[in-house]
Chains A and B, each alone.
Chain A
């Protein structure tokens, strides 16, 4: 019995050693460094494959293996593999609080060390990649803008003009409603949609950067009349939302807009390429929400959406950094603009291939940070979580604007020091 066990053990040892040597010689033969590259965009696998192909052509000694994980599961999978000491060499990271989850845990390389040119990126982009001490943990990729989409063909057909004031906007909605068209596609079934509506509509009414800077510094609170007024303005949209809008989900909203059943869509610049792909004939344009007076500044809310980061535990950082530099190049940024319709941050990126992005950049001249994501999504309960749920209560008629504001304020004050003074 004992003899047989020894025999089995020896055989196992031999087999594993043979395997080891075989692997070693195979590696020697190709002499390629293989790096793992993760994204949360299964939709864009082809796009990244073509980017990788170009990179590999210029760097024949490096092989990039792409792995796309579903958006909703990405953070969990990434966290599990990084905390297990493994994980990809180079990967997409979220911006703001979602990035700090990984950088504070010590899983990321300080990116300035590997790509010094990152400091040339615009400040609005770097805001999503920095921690409170100013360390940069990722190369910003794209930015998003919350604004108003409108169906241009409908505007032309019903003789409407791009509104110069809030009342003109409501009036346009009224005309569309009388014509039997849903004026605004949005619903409140998903909380994050409620937050995007604040980004598209609210910023103009709470007064953009003045309020943002004051509330971040703790000089005012969310119970400020300006913020309550912004929520009340969202309430004025209720008659123009779809019937039973509390049950209308994101995909229903998108379909209503690209199928030309709704006249407006309050949302992010990331929608445009999807709208176009679903209905190439859709004639739409964008504007920033006007205020009470035509002279009021019209704000769009802007945020950084995605970074490239390096794994601190990677054994192939040199190769990964080469790929990082390629991803951060103007060349790839231009492809983000052209192929994906995204507003890419890289300095020198050329938006002339996309009139839509040129228009977004034009609107960005009066922009303010997307308030809860940029300022208050670092600790639980996040400003986003608080506003999204209370906002649903508001659209359902269960909470007043003042109650929404006080819910948000109370939740954030449990940890946010400037509110505790």
Chain B
């Protein structure tokens, strides 16, 4: 290696090292540490003997870990399905309408995005107040004479997770709307004009031209929704607490992980081995589901 290429390598290293260090220290190391920790028995906070995959086996096979894990995972699935079905579909509709420059589109663009900027803790806290039995929502229902529709939104197993998901959609819908708006705006006007001249209707233009061309944006939003749905934590923590109340109805693998690994002040001591096993499973699922959806949607992409 001559001096010049050595210097070049040095320069490249100089730029790469800070980022690499951050990734290694804050992402890779904790990941490997959880993997490592999940392979040991723990005596309270002290690592005891090596047990291999025993903790993961326990998580999937024994009561109550198995029941808690699959119950929580089921709720994560609800998060994913409802977010895709409601938030992303509405986001696409809003994005499309704004791209069609409906009246007040500049206003809506800002209003929809505003809640995205709010702190998640503040949103959780405020909506927690609105959804109380004597909160804003029930008061509004009473004002229109529909007391029969009043519920303890966060206290009934049937509505608790649904309510939190709806709040999250309210907070986050501006994001997919804006991504879809940008994607649709980037489609050349000439394609759309050509289609209209050929007599295509609004519906056909959307499905035959716009939709195939914004698949990359849909991929991004889908992957983010998968990651977001598997990592749900703050929303539930701020509105329903760590214990998945009521009766595990709002539990997600995020809250289950936290409660298991760190313990909960009001109900129990930490189990670091099992907690680490849960975190490894969360990581693997996020990785594979994201990979799968990228491959799946990429195969649907079209080039102009």
A interface residue numbers (CB < 8 A to B): 71-72, 74-76, 79, 82-83, 94, 97-98, 100-102, 104-107, 187-192, 195, 242-249, 252, 377-382, 384-385, 388-390, 392-393, 396, 398-399, 410-411, 414
Given contacts A247-B156, A389-B247, A389-B248, A97 and B63 within 8 Å (CB-CB): no
Chief secondary structure at chain A's binding surface: helix
| Inter-chain contact B132/A414, CB cutoff 8 Å | no
User: 12 A-B residue contacts at CB 8 Å?
Assistant: A101-B263, A104-B43, A106-B46, A187-B133, A191-B245, A248-B155, A377-B269, A380-B269, A385-B267, A388-B243, A389-B245, A396-B156
| Inter-chain contact B243/A188, CB cutoff 8 Å | no
Q: Which of A76, A384, A393 contacts B246 (CB 8 A)?
A: A393
| Inter-chain contact B157/A396, CB cutoff 8 Å | yes
Nearest CB in chain A: distance from B35 CB, A: 18
B61 within 8 A of A: no
Known: A105-B46, A189-B245, A247-B153. 19 other contacts (CB 8 A): A74-B265, A75-B263, A75-B265, A97-B269, A101-B263, A102-B44, A105-B45, A242-B133, A244-B150, A244-B152, A246-B152, A378-B269, A380-B260, A380-B269, A380-B271, A385-B268, A389-B243, A389-B245, A398-B247
Given contacts A83-B45, A382-B269, A247 and B154 within 8 Å (CB-CB): yes
| Inter-chain contact B247/A75, CB cutoff 8 Å | no
| Inter-chain contact B156/A246, CB cutoff 8 Å | yes
State A83–B265 Cα separation when bound (angstroms). 19
State A414–B67 Cα separation when bound (angstroms). 14
| Inter-chain contact B44/A100, CB cutoff 8 Å | yes
Q: Contact flags (1/0) for B115-157 with A, using CB distance below 8 Å?
A: 0000000000000100111100010000000000011111111
| Inter-chain contact B44/A247, CB cutoff 8 Å | no
Which single residue of chain B is at the shortest CB-CB distance from A189?
A: B155
**A contact residues around B43 at 8 Å (CB):** 104-105
Q: Contact flags (1/0) for B286-298 with A, using CB distance below 8 Å?
A: 0000000000000
| Inter-chain contact A247/B267, CB cutoff 8 Å | no
State A83–B270 Cα separation when bound (angstroms). 14
Given contacts A71-B265, A379-B269, A389-B247, A188 and B155 within 8 Å (CB-CB): yes
| Inter-chain contact A72/B265, CB cutoff 8 Å | yes
| Inter-chain contact B133/A192, CB cutoff 8 Å | no
Number of interface residues of B (CB under 8 A): 40
**B contact residues around A187 at 8 Å (CB):** 133, 155
Q: Contact flags (1/0) for B242-259 with A, using CB distance below 8 Å?
A: 011111100000000000
**B contact residues around A76 at 8 Å (CB):** 262
B186 within 8 A of A: no
State A190–B247 Cα separation when bound (angstroms). 10
Given contacts A191-B245, A248-B133, A411-B64, A79 and B155 within 8 Å (CB-CB): no
| Inter-chain contact A247/B131, CB cutoff 8 Å | yes
Q: Contact flags (1/0) for B29-51 with A, using CB distance below 8 Å?
A: 00000000000000111100000
State A105–B270 Cα separation when bound (angstroms). 12
State A243–B134 Cα separation when bound (angstroms). 9
Which single residue of chain A is at the shortest CB-CB distance from B246?
A: A392
Given contacts A192-B266, A382-B269, A410 and B63 within 8 Å (CB-CB): yes
| Inter-chain contact B246/A244, CB cutoff 8 Å | no
The 5 closest A-B pairs by CB, nearest first: A247-B152, A247-B155, A246-B155, A244-B133, A244-B152
| Inter-chain contact B241/A190, CB cutoff 8 Å | yes
Which of A190, A248, A389, A393 has the most CB atoms of chain B within a 10 A radius of its CB? Answer: A389
**B contact residues around A248 at 8 Å (CB):** 132-133, 152, 155
| Inter-chain contact A188/B45, CB cutoff 8 Å | no
Q: Which of A79, A189, A191, A246 contacts B270 (CB 8 A)?
A: A79
